[in-house]
Amino acid sequence: KERALAVGIFNSGTAIGNAISLPIVSFVALAWGWRWAFVVTGAIGFVWVLIWLLFYRLPEAHPNITEAERALITSGDVEEAKTGTKVSIRTLLSMKETWGCIAARFFTDPISYFLAFWIPNYLQQERGFSLADLGTLAWIPYAVAALGNIASGAIPRFLIARGWSLNRARKTTMLVISCLMPVFLLMVTQVESWALALVLLSAITFGHAAWGNITLPAEVFPRHVVGSVSGFGGALGGLAGAATQRPIGWAVETLSFTPVFAACSVVYLVAFLLVHFLIGELGVIRRVKSEKV
pLDDT mean over 39-60: 86
Tens-place pLDDT, residues 257-266: 999 999 999 9
Confidence of residue 79 (pLDDT cuts 50, 70, 90): very low
Which pLDDT score is estimated for 77?
Answer: 47
- Name every residue whose Cβ is closer than 8 Å to that of residue 103 and which is 6 or more positions away in sequence: 271, 274, 275, 278
* More confident call, 164 vs 73: 164
Residue 203 has pLDDT above 60, yes or no: yes
Least confident window among 148-152, 232-236, 258-262, 286-290:
286-290
- Name every residue whose Cβ is closer than 8 Å to that of residue 176 and which is 6 or more positions away in sequence: none
* More confident call, 178 vs 42: 178
Residue 85 has pLDDT above 80, yes or no: no
Q: How many CA atoms lie within 13 A of 174 on its CB side?
A: 25
Which pLDDT score is estimated for 63?
Answer: 79
Which pLDDT score is estimated for 84?
Answer: 44
What pTM was estimated for this model as a whole? 0.83
CATH no. for residue 275? 1.20.1250.20
* More confident call, 30 vs 108: 108
Contact indicator for 256, 126 with CB cutoff of 8 Å: yes
User: Where are the strands (E) in 98-167, listed by range?
Assistant: none
Average of per-residue pLDDT values in the chain: 88
Confidence of residue 153 (pLDDT cuts 50, 70, 90): confident
Backbone angles phi, psi at 288, to 5 degrees: -120, 125
Least confident window among 18-27, 40-49, 171-180:
18-27
Tens-place pLDDT, residues 101-131: 999 999 999 999 999 999 999 999 999 999 8
User: Where are the strands (E) in the chain, listed by range?
Assistant: 85-86, 291-292
Which long-range contacts does 133-140 make (Cβ < 8 Å, 24+ apart)? Answer: 134/22, 134/26, 135/22, 135/23, 135/25, 135/26, 135/27, 135/30, 136/23, 136/26, 137/198, 138/22, 139/18, 139/19, 139/20, 139/22, 139/23, 140/19, 140/198, 140/202
Residue 82 has pLDDT above 60, yes or no: no
Tens-place pLDDT, residues 167-192: 999 999 999 999 999 999 999 999 99
Residue 59 has pLDDT above 60, yes or no: yes
Residue 283 has pLDDT above 80, yes or no: yes
Name the residue range of residue 256's domain.
3-292
Confidence of residue 144 (pLDDT cuts 50, 70, 90): very high
- Total domains in the chain come to 1
Which pLDDT score is estimated for 3?
Answer: 63
Confidence of residue 74 (pLDDT cuts 50, 70, 90): low
Give the CA distances from residue 41 to residues 19, 35, 119, 215, in Å, rounded to whole numbers and listed in that order: 13, 10, 19, 28
Contact indicator for 112, 208 with CB cutoff of 8 Å: yes
Q: Is the dihedral of CA 231, 234, 238, 240 positive or negative?
A: positive
Residue 255 has pLDDT above 80, yes or no: yes
